[in-house]
Structure 1
Amino acid sequence: MAGGPPFSLGVETHEGLAALTRAIRAEEDGKQLRRELARNMREALKPAAGEAKSSIMAMPSSGLMPTAPALRSAVARKIRPEVKLGGRWSGARVKAFKTKNVRGFPNAPKRLNRSGGWRHPVYGNREIWVQQHGKVDWFDDAFKGREGSYRAAVEAAMENMARRIADRAQ
């Protein structure tokens, strides 16, 4: 190749991320570069995860017995940035993972965010069911108006890695 990088520096698209990942694999220390890119992309999304955590913690709670596990804090612990480089899906996102062992409510993050809420029996009595609603769109509203800054931070991490690889090639 005559003087240019082996891939496009415009990595803001999925194709650009795929090209960057291929270029990293071709490098001698590719595994280390890939880990560093993933770490930098996660760091760029940590403020977004913090916003989502504070949003769920701001949800009102009437509380249950003091012995029951706290739902809001369990959901907040399961919110974290996720980065995948390669495979069926490549990219970076903030994700609320399932809460497996909290009150028998594995889909708590998803159900708390839905306008329809969820149905459950009253204190385990299978004859009396109620419809309960959470704080609608707590996850989606946490990023409202700041999506562009989080996207720009992730793209900046990708561009920095692309520049480093391009500088090596020259």
Structure 2
Amino acid sequence: MTRDVRLLNTGSLLELSRRLRAAGNENIRQSMHRRIRRAAEPLRSELQSTMRGLDIRPPGRTTRPGGPSPTTRPLRATIADAIRISVRTGASPGATVWVDKGRLPPDLKNMPKVINDGRIRHPVYGNRRKWVTQWAQPPWWDSTVRRHLPRMEREVARIVDDVRRRLE
């Protein structure tokens, strides 16, 4: 998904990364890496639970019609399982939370963005002559990230300060 979340304070993290390499203390670097990942974990967990519980329905309907999905893979769970975290402490330090398109089937690669926009248009049970439009609660990704961003920025700033103090 193009709207990935990046926890970056480029100047502070780059300077800190250089000082960590110069100090050669691998324990401090591993601790910083672990703490930054821990700061991003609640966001990933909430993004996954938001996706799994997302309400997708045709307009005007209050209940879900029809029976079980004709496919063997549930849409929401497949997308939720593709949400990943990456933490770097090297040359380009920071953390990224994103939907890994490599973990999605080829026909669902664009689906996280489409669902975030709120309008899903698809053929009915694969019949390309009959299409339906469904609506999702937009924006599942953006609103969840917005709620978590201030907390994550505070935690990363605290981590950077702690590591800086340990290096002095």
TM-score by length of structure 1 reads: 0.73
Distance in 2 separating the partners of 1:148 and 1:95: 18
Give the gaps of 5 or more residues in structure 2: 1-7, 57-63
Q: What does residue 10 of structure 2 align with? A: 14
Question: Residue 111 of structure 1 contacts residue 134 of structure 1 at CA under 8 Å; is this kept in 2?
Answer: no
Q: What does residue 25 of structure 1 align with? A: 21
RMSD: 2.6
Distance in 2 separating the partners of 1:165 and 1:44: 21
Q: What does residue 140 of structure 1 align with? A: 142
The answer on 1:80 being equivalent to 2:62 is no
Number of aligned residue pairs: 151
Distance in 2 separating the partners of 1:42 and 1:16: 17
Distance in 2 separating the partners of 1:65 and 1:146: 33
C-alpha deviation, 1:24, in angstroms: 1.1
Summarize deviations over 1:35-88 as a string: whole Å, max 9, x none.
Answer: 33222101011112222222212212547436521111122222233323345x
* Identical-residue share of aligned pairs (%): 30
Distance in 1 separating the partners of 2:24 and 2:98: 32
Question: Residue 120 of structure 1 contacts residue 129 of structure 1 at CA under 8 Å; is this kept in 2?
Answer: yes
TM-score by length of structure 2 reads: 0.73
Distance in 2 separating the partners of 1:153 and 1:93: 15
Q: Which has the larger radius of gyration?
A: 1
Q: Relative contact order: is structure 1 or structure 2 higher (C-alpha 8 Å, sep ≥ 6)?
A: 2
The answer on 1:50 being equivalent to 2:45 is yes
Distance in 2 separating the partners of 1:28 and 1:147: 31
As a proportion of its length, which structure holds more helix?
Answer: 2
Q: What does residue 162 of structure 2 align with? A: 160
Give the gaps of 5 or more residues in structure 1: 1-11
Distance in 1 separating the partners of 2:51 and 2:114: 12
As a proportion of its length, which structure holds more strand?
Answer: 2
